[in-house]
Structure 1
């Protein structure tokens, strides 16, 4: 997660330890980028992204996980997950994640009501 923290160091970052905290952030803040792990205490990162799709429909949704959901491809095809990255990261993944973050934030900045905030959940 150090690489992710380094990528986002110039942005507002909200962190949640579990689904309930993530849901509160999703309700209270305007987010441009949402990064979550699949495995979380209690409900999963998939649940976070399902809620995010409703509460933050314009946000880019990224999932990181060593244990991807069994229906990962369907979740991507359905538009719930914009990008997925496996952990542990292989060489070059940090650069790819940096590209995804830059594109997500650029997309948000181009939107008329953008505030350029980010969220990460672990």
Structure 2
């Protein structure tokens, strides 16, 4: 698979904007992900990094979407808020080789949004039931 990132990386000019290493601490503050695998830069450095590494390439977007879907709906069943919160914690723990799950930040962001939506829905239903 050629993402043409090698060409873009070779053309990297720091004067055009910063670069955020996907391995750096706090990387999540520079990017936002959606359930369809899309990525957006939330900072100028994040947006520039997406451009440099071609993180919005269709193959990467599709791979992220598949990974997210697998975690969000295991065995085709959507997760509840509590399950999603537990998975978020599990995804933040490195494996035996000290590696995190591929696309973990994208998955964590989408799971967090899902859990929040489920919690709000449950609160509305609970409130509605008391009326």
Same-fold status (TM-score > 0.5): no
Larger radius of gyration: 2
Greater RCO structure (CA 8 Å; 6+ sep) = 1
TM-score after normalising by structure 1? 0.28
Q: Greater share of strand residues, 1 or 2?
A: 1
- The two structures have a TM-score, normalised by structure 2, of 0.27
Considering fraction of residues, name the structure with more helix. 2
